[in-house]
Structure formats: structure tokens, C-alpha cells
Structure 1
């Protein structure tokens, strides 16, 4: 009888250990599921933020597109602009020009040292910030 009692205690202990292991596995599975849900939610938020940034960039591009410049003949550049270039960039050559609907001019200029760039100015030759 004593042997039977000891065997029953060992069996009960084994069942208890098995049940605890089962609970631990279930808890770990639940934790993994919560972590997966959190990762999915974070990914969704990140995707929405990226999409919002892309929409903002598109809006900025559209705003810039409204300031598109149309090429004009160099001779059409107002005298105030050519005078400003001669004064501030002695020896510079005007290679091209364009104008936008806002009345701003984009003037392509080459300097004597070989550098070149574009000046964006109003019709009086004042710099325009873009």
C-alpha cells in the first residue's frame, strides 16, 4: 500500500508539472500573439506616416509646379536684371532665361572662372526666395 501511495504521489506530481508546463506554453503563446499584434499596429502606423509624408511631398511638388518657368529670349530679360548681374557679377555671361506666372525670372549665368548657376529674381533684379 505504501508503494501504491508513493506511486500515486509521483503520478500526481508529474501531472502537476505537466499542467504547469502547459500553462507556461499557453502564456508564452499569448505573449507572442500580443507582440505580433503590437508589431502589426506599429507597422500600420509607420505605413500611414509614410503615406502622409508622400502626400505632403506631392503637395509641395504641386506648389513648385505652379512656379514653373517658361523659357524666354535673353533679350526679354528686363534691363534692371541685366544691370544687377553686370554690377554684382562682372564679366558674367547670361546663357538663358525663363519667366514664371508670378513675374519672377530665372537667369542662367556663367562666371569668368567657369562656374555657373541660376539666379531667381523679380523684375527689379531683387533675389526671390523659393
Structure 2
């Protein structure tokens, strides 16, 4: 009889453990915009034509790898040349080179 009562208790405890609601932690996803020195990365579609034209005129063999913009509409361009060198250029929205 003791074994029957003990088995009933274990069964009851086991079933109640599975009946409890489990809290699932939902991972919140956030979109974080990275900034570098006040510059936010933009797509090449958002790069003004004047800036693209200035790069192709001054550096014909250069390829723009990444482009960034700040709140003053100044553009930071990471470019690479055909010979494997790379560098950073800064321009205003009219395509004039600036020093930062």
C-alpha cells in the first residue's frame, strides 16, 4: 500500500511539473545604425551624383567601397584603386573635396 501511495505522489508531482506554463524568452531585435565619427553608412543609391562624378574625375581607377554621410551633408568615402591601395576621401554634397 505504501508503494501505491508513493507512486501516486511521484506521478502527481511529475504531471504538475509538465502542466506549468513555461515562460519563453523572446529575443528582441533592434536595428542599430552604426556611426563612425558622426558619419552614418548609406547605400550607393543615396550618394549624390556630384560626389560620384568627382571621384571618377579625380580618381578614374577608383572604386567606392563604402559611403557615409553626417548631419552637415559631408560625405566620407572609402575607395580602393586598381593597384590595390585604398584610402578615405571626404567631400561635400556638391562634390568639392574637404579636409576633416
Matching residue within 75, 82, 86 for 2:52: 82
Q: Structure 1 regions of 5+ residues with no counterpart?
A: 1-64
Pick the structure with more helix per residue. 1
Corresponding residue SS for 1:113:
coil
* Max Rg structure: 1
- Find the aligned partners of 2:46 and 2:38 in 1 and give their Cα distance: 17
- 1:91 shift after superposition: 2.1
Please identify runs of 4+ aligned residues in structure 1 that moved more than 3 A.
Answer: none
Matching residue within 40, 43, 46 for 1:73: 43
The number of residues matched between the two structures is 65
Q: Structure 2 regions of 5+ residues with no counterpart?
A: 1-34
Query: Root-mean-square deviation (CA), in Å?
Result: 1.5
Pick the structure with more strand per residue. 2
Q: Which has the higher contact order (CA 8 A, sep 6+)?
A: 2
